[in-house]
Amino acid sequence: MEVMPYQHGVDVVGPTTWTAAPPTGWRARLPVLKGTGVTLRELRAGDAASLYACLTTEQVARFISPPPTSAEAFEDFIRWSHVRRAEGKYVCFGIVPEGSDVAVGIFQIQLSTNEPPEWGFVLGSEFWGTGVFVEGAVALMDFAFNVMGLERLAARAAVDNTRGNGALRKIGAVRESLIRNGLVRKGRLHDQYYWTSSPEDRPRRKITWDLAAH
């Protein structure tokens, strides 16, 4: 998911009212997922400054749609992610490496009635190659398949994004097709590879879930 579903200044976060029963399960609150050396948890307002610092560098943002442009804009994104999660349309976990108490990246799942669920990730470059991505990705897939009940996850990565494609291959994703001109970045069109993952594809790790923590 190299195109962020959130667009700052376009998606307005307002009060949520429920015409039916309030959300339950993961729609009410995401669990805390723990792998070796990393914790995934729901984003908090206190993550905004760290996410802004980690995810807006040219090295990191090169192959994703433009991220929020300030810490305050990331706060809006965090509030928006909570509203969309409660609606059952979006899941966003902050990536918190061992020894830190703030998120340095995100895993996200976009749910649509017309398309397969699509996931994406972005991680501060300081943590590339540390194992944080693989452990976090397996935790996310376990949650998606075992808790959300999804049967398949799709992902996209620009053909030129060798690191992103390598990461998807490392966790067992299957490259299925090529999407022509699927990403526009700074006026340039990028072809993308389309990847899919199923419960049988993912590596096995020992993952713990804490449904009570928040």
Percentage of residues in the chain with pLDDT exceeding 90?
73
Q: Where are the domains of the chain?
A: 31-205
For residue 133, the model assigns a pLDDT of: 95
Q: What is the mean pLDDT of residues 138-159?
A: 94
Q: Has residue 136 got a pLDDT over 60?
A: yes
pTM flag (> 0.85): yes
Q: Has residue 33 got a pLDDT over 60?
A: yes
- Domain 31-205 in CATH: superfamily? Gcn5-related N-acetyltransferase (GNAT) (3.40.630.30)
Between the alpha carbon of residue 197 and those of residues 57, 91, 180, 210, the distances in Å are: 29, 17, 21, 24
Specify whether the CB–CB gap between 71 and 49 falls below 8 A: yes
Q: What is the mean pLDDT of residues 90-94?
A: 97
Angle at Cα 50 formed by Cα 128 and Cα 76, nearest 5°? 120
Specify whether the CB–CB gap between 119 and 194 falls below 8 A: no
Specify whether the CB–CB gap between 203 and 168 falls below 8 A: no
For residue 3, the model assigns a pLDDT of: 61
Name every residue whose Cβ is closer than 8 Å to that of residue 118 and which is 6 or more positions away in sequence. Answer: 1, 109, 110, 112, 153, 154, 155, 156
- The average confidence (pLDDT) of the chain is 88
